[in-house]
Chains A and B, each alone.
Chain A
Amino acid sequence: MAPDDGTPEDAGPSPGEGPLRGAGRHHSVAADEPTASHPVEGLKSEPHHRVSGHYHSQRKVWKGYRVEAWVYLGVAAFFVVVCAAYWFTSKERAGSVMLILTAFLGFLPGAYLYWWGGHMHPRPEDSEAAELEEGAGTVGAFPSSSIWPFVMGTGAAFTCLALVFGAWWGVLGGALVVGCLVGYTLESRRGGYV
């Protein structure tokens, strides 16, 4: 962790061409929409104008996922300390196990984000001076509708009812869950919505 000391770099924003960055950022979806004048009064001037020009100099650029990683690592550090204090004062096992597992829960994603953030270029959302057009490109696929979550939810509920009322509910629930898995997979291949 030594090279990435977690301190923000005092550098200008890096455009998002990095090999490890996600493929572009926001408002590609908006670009798919019919363009319209901005609905908010006061924003009718060009949408990417700066509030005032002199803000732009010397803005902070965080390394990728650095604050996010520290949130999780903070969880890990806090619970290591609490677990140590609790174990040495109480010797109680159930609570100590839960506390140390909570520390792991913080450590795993925190360490991963820290490591990953050290290998990626800063994202525009980590830069205080980023312009909106730096995030241009595809954000991702956001399906607007799908029936399969409903089918999966119903199937899961029926399967749970099998635990109370008998196995025949499980047949119904299992069929729905399996049907959902098939349908969900094919949905992505078909490109359809329902």
Chain B
Amino acid sequence: MTLLAERRPAAPHEEPHEEHRRGLLYWLTSTDHKVIGKNYLVTTTIFLLCGGLMAMFIRVQLFWPNSHFTTQETFNQLFTMHGTVMLLLFAGPFAFAGFANYIVPLQVGAPDMAFPRLNALSYWLFLSGGIIMLSSFLVAGGAASFGWTAYAPLSDSLNSPGAGADLWVVSLFLTGFSAIFSGINLVATTFALRAPGMTMFRLPIFTWNMLVTAILILIAFPVLTSALVMLYFDRHFHTHIFEVAGGGAPILWQHLFWFFGHPEVYILALPYFGIVSDIIPVFSRRPLFGYRGMVFATLTIAGLSTGVWAHHMFTTGVVLLPFFSAMTMLIAVPTGIKFFSWIGTMWRGAIQFKSPMVWAVGFLVVFLAGGLSGVILASPPLDFYTNNTYFIVAHFHEVLIGTTIFGGFAGLYFWYPKMTGRMHREWLANAHFGLAFIGFWLQTTPQYVAGLHGMPRRIAIYQPSDGWTSLNRLSSIGAWCIGASFLFFLWNMWISWRKPVPAGSNPWDAGSLEWATSSPPPHHNFHSIPPIRSERPVWDANHPDLAELEEPRIPAEVGSGPSGNGHGS
């Protein structure tokens, strides 16, 4: 809609003041994608700290056997809200709303997102949904306590009475719409607002991944939203959709939830794959190895991820095991292609271990470990053995922390100079990484062992005779290390705010289009942009000699075909 001339031209006196507007009114009214992107990043980081605090409490409770730090009910609320907040208020929006909002229009050479006001609405829905969700701790009966999966019949009005569960439902309703609107905006921006010469196959991989994520959002979130409506109807109007007593089917909730839930895992993962795919070439001083393979792998992962939902339901006994097992294992193939490309990019590169690269390499290691245990769990007999144990908990924390924390903070340290115009302190970013990395392994490895020894998930109390005490203590210490590592992050932000070191427009000598503009970018992003003749227009412009060497695509005198791989020359 904004592509049409829908309003009179603004009066000349209004425009020059835009960049100087600050304060509460500016914050409430801005539709600039950069402001909204930063709003998302700050808000989601606050939600990360809230969810992290809940994790710290959970680990305090599990540090001692027979602990009474919390009650079982409070513990249930803590892990329910920890899961929901981390997945739906931090991990997803941090990337597909925060980074995507800020970076995608810059990478495609657009002045803003396609629908700026829809973008702002999306943020306000997200913020209000998040506040409503966290405020559910304050109502009588406390927050929702049925786990972030809200399985029927546990989530019905008989087993989960009270306003906390309803607040959980409506807050996900709001954040779900927010995600759908962000998805629409991302697709429209990528399809319709690219700069001349920025063909689809010149988009940075980050933008490709955000596009595919946006399509996954459009596939997955409407299913969740409709399932939530059904759940609400069951709770208040006794429609019996998920109740056996009234002729409904509780298993339907699991189908609907996981048809959203598994793509959601990739909605969380793909943006971070994109971030890492942008970072590794920059700090390896090489072009990305296998660009089209990366695009193909992203699309394939997204497609397959929507066909594997019932691998979360193996133990229900009513799903087709071979189909879902095979589809799940197939995902390892495109993911392997991605790893191959990342390693191929680094291979024989002049690697610079700046903080974004350190985090990105950490991502590779952590995500690979989590992915491998995922292949184990894709096998139904092994899943039967480990289902509902801490083995599962360790697996998905490895996958999710690997992507969202290691990939996410790689991106944050990569684009922080672009967003703020200031450099962060490298040693603090590396210290943040080091403590988080050590803490991470200390946390998850004992959880794998505890799971294999039979420790069920979601228990608040265990006995000394169970033999899990030392494993849990190690895991708790690891979790607290991860928590403590964020003090370095906050310190880093504080220092760069109080003692700014100017970053310049392109501190990493990177190649994609966001580095062609100032840091932070001006209103409507670009005063001018370089010609776009490859996936790395800024690199080409800054290193014209290397651009010619690296891209001998179309020797004019040979003309080796329109795709121009240069094989004929």
Q: A residues touching B (Cβ–Cβ < 8 Å)?
A: 8, 10, 22-23, 25-27, 29-30, 32-36, 38-43, 47-52, 54-60, 62, 65, 67-68, 71-72, 74-75, 78-79, 82, 85-86, 89-90, 92, 94-95, 98-99, 102, 105, 113, 124-132, 134-135, 138-150, 152-154, 156-157, 160-161, 163-165, 184, 188-189, 191, 193-194
The interface bits of chain B over 493-530 (1 if a CB of A lies within 8 angstroms of the residue's CB, else 0) are 00000000000011000000001111000111011111
**What is the minimal beta-carbon distance from B256 to any residue of chain A, in angstroms?**
7
Q: How many B residues have CB within 8 A of the partner chain?
A: 119
Across-interface contacts of A75 in B (CB, < 8 A): 215, 219, 303
**20 sample A-B contacts, Cβ–Cβ < 8 Å, listed by A number:** A22-B192, A25-B196, A40-B538, A40-B541, A40-B542, A41-B542, A51-B533, A71-B299, A74-B303, A98-B259, A124-B197, A127-B197, A127-B199, A130-B196, A138-B5, A146-B120, A156-B177, A161-B132, A184-B117, A189-B7
Complexed CA–CA distance, A134 and B11 (Å): 27
Across-interface contacts of B3 in A (CB, < 8 A): 22, 139-140
Near A by CB (< 8 A), chain B positions 168-199 give 169-171, 173-174, 177, 191-199
Q: Is B531 an interface residue (CB 8 A)?
A: yes
Known contacts A134-B196, A141-B5: A152-B121 contact under CB 8 Å = yes
Measured CB to CB, the nearest residue on chain A to B323 is A89
Establish whether residues B323 and A90, one from each chain, have CB atoms under 8 Å apart when the complex forms: yes
Of the residues B163, B192, B522, B548, contact of A164 by C-beta under 8 Å: B163
Known contacts A26-B111, A50-B531, A164-B166: A102-B219 contact under CB 8 Å = yes
Q: B residues touching A (Cβ–Cβ < 8 Å)?
A: 2-11, 14-16, 18, 21, 25-26, 28-32, 109-112, 116-121, 123-125, 127-129, 131-132, 163, 166-167, 169-171, 173-174, 177, 191-202, 211-212, 215, 218-219, 223, 232, 236, 252, 255-256, 259, 299, 303, 306-307, 309-310, 319-320, 322-323, 327, 505-506, 515-518, 522-524, 526-533, 538, 540-544, 547-548, 551, 553-556, 559, 561-564
Of the residues B121, B199, B322, B524, contact of A153 by C-beta under 8 Å: B121
Known contacts A8-B562, A146-B31, A163-B232: A39-B252 contact under CB 8 Å = no
Establish whether residues B5 and A48, one from each chain, have CB atoms under 8 Å apart when the complex forms: no
**What is the minimal beta-carbon distance from B323 to any residue of chain A, in angstroms?**
6
**What is the minimal beta-carbon distance from A117 to any residue of chain B, in angstroms?**
10
Across-interface contacts of B538 in A (CB, < 8 A): 40, 43
Known contacts A36-B527, A92-B320: A59-B132 contact under CB 8 Å = no
Known contacts A58-B559, A58-B562, A141-B5: A94-B15 contact under CB 8 Å = no
Establish whether residues B527 and A142, one from each chain, have CB atoms under 8 Å apart when the complex forms: no
Establish whether residues B26 and A140, one from each chain, have CB atoms under 8 Å apart when the complex forms: no
Complexed CA–CA distance, A22 and B188 (Å): 14
Of the residues B170, B523, B547, contact of A52 by C-beta under 8 Å: B547
Measured CB to CB, the nearest residue on chain A to B555 is A54
Known contacts A58-B559, A98-B223, A153-B125: A50-B32 contact under CB 8 Å = no
Measured CB to CB, the nearest residue on chain A to B541 is A43
Across-interface contacts of B177 in A (CB, < 8 A): 156
Establish whether residues A68 and B200, one from each chain, have CB atoms under 8 Å apart when the complex forms: yes
Across-interface contacts of B127 in A (CB, < 8 A): 153
Establish whether residues A105 and B522, one from each chain, have CB atoms under 8 Å apart when the complex forms: no
Complexed CA–CA distance, A127 and B383 (Å): 49
Establish whether residues A95 and B524, one from each chain, have CB atoms under 8 Å apart when the complex forms: no
Complexed CA–CA distance, A130 and B537 (Å): 13
Across-interface contacts of B541 in A (CB, < 8 A): 40, 42-43, 51
Measured CB to CB, the nearest residue on chain B to A153 is B124
Across-interface contacts of A86 in B (CB, < 8 A): 307, 320, 323
Known contacts A39-B517, A43-B528, A191-B8: A62-B200 contact under CB 8 Å = yes
Complexed CA–CA distance, A89 and B330 (Å): 18
Complexed CA–CA distance, A48 and B310 (Å): 53
Across-interface contacts of A29 in B (CB, < 8 A): 111, 524
Establish whether residues B191 and A65, one from each chain, have CB atoms under 8 Å apart when the complex forms: yes
Establish whether residues B112 and A48, one from each chain, have CB atoms under 8 Å apart when the complex forms: no
Establish whether residues A67 and B200, one from each chain, have CB atoms under 8 Å apart when the complex forms: yes
Complexed CA–CA distance, A165 and B25 (Å): 30
**What is the minimal beta-carbon distance from B164 to any residue of chain A, in angstroms?**
9
Complexed CA–CA distance, A43 and B309 (Å): 49
Establish whether residues A147 and B29, one from each chain, have CB atoms under 8 Å apart when the complex forms: yes
Establish whether residues A94 and B256, one from each chain, have CB atoms under 8 Å apart when the complex forms: yes
Known contacts A49-B531, A144-B30: A132-B195 contact under CB 8 Å = yes
Complexed CA–CA distance, A8 and B200 (Å): 12
Across-interface contacts of B200 in A (CB, < 8 A): 62, 67-68, 126
Establish whether residues A143 and B31, one from each chain, have CB atoms under 8 Å apart when the complex forms: yes
Of the residues B11, B170, B542, contact of A43 by C-beta under 8 Å: B542
Establish whether residues A33 and B299, one from each chain, have CB atoms under 8 Å apart when the complex forms: no
Across-interface contacts of B515 in A (CB, < 8 A): 40
Known pairs A145-B30, A150-B124 / 4 extra A-B pairs, C-beta < 8 Å: A27-B526, A36-B527, A153-B128, A161-B132
Of the residues A10, A41, A47, A189, contact of B562 by C-beta under 8 Å: A10
Establish whether residues B173 and A160, one from each chain, have CB atoms under 8 Å apart when the complex forms: yes
Establish whether residues A51 and B562, one from each chain, have CB atoms under 8 Å apart when the complex forms: no
Across-interface contacts of B194 in A (CB, < 8 A): 125
Establish whether residues A26 and B199, one from each chain, have CB atoms under 8 Å apart when the complex forms: no
Complexed CA–CA distance, A15 and B138 (Å): 61
Measured CB to CB, the nearest residue on chain A to B254 is A94
Across-interface contacts of A193 in B (CB, < 8 A): 10, 14, 29
Across-interface contacts of A143 in B (CB, < 8 A): 2, 7, 31, 116-117
Measured CB to CB, the nearest residue on chain A to B11 is A191
Complexed CA–CA distance, A95 and B311 (Å): 13
Establish whether residues B195 and A26, one from each chain, have CB atoms under 8 Å apart when the complex forms: yes
**What is the minimal beta-carbon distance from A128 to any residue of chain B, in angstroms?**
6
> Which of B131, B252, B541 counts the most chain A CB atoms within 10 A?
B541
Complexed CA–CA distance, A8 and B548 (Å): 24
Establish whether residues A160 and B7, one from each chain, have CB atoms under 8 Å apart when the complex forms: no
Complexed CA–CA distance, A35 and B522 (Å): 12
Across-interface contacts of B320 in A (CB, < 8 A): 86, 89-90, 92
Across-interface contacts of A68 in B (CB, < 8 A): 191, 200
Of the residues B18, B195, B218, contact of A144 by C-beta under 8 Å: B18
Establish whether residues A164 and B299, one from each chain, have CB atoms under 8 Å apart when the complex forms: no
Establish whether residues A47 and B223, one from each chain, have CB atoms under 8 Å apart when the complex forms: no
Complexed CA–CA distance, A43 and B541 (Å): 6
Complexed CA–CA distance, A30 and B351 (Å): 36
Known contacts A23-B5, A124-B197: A146-B29 contact under CB 8 Å = yes
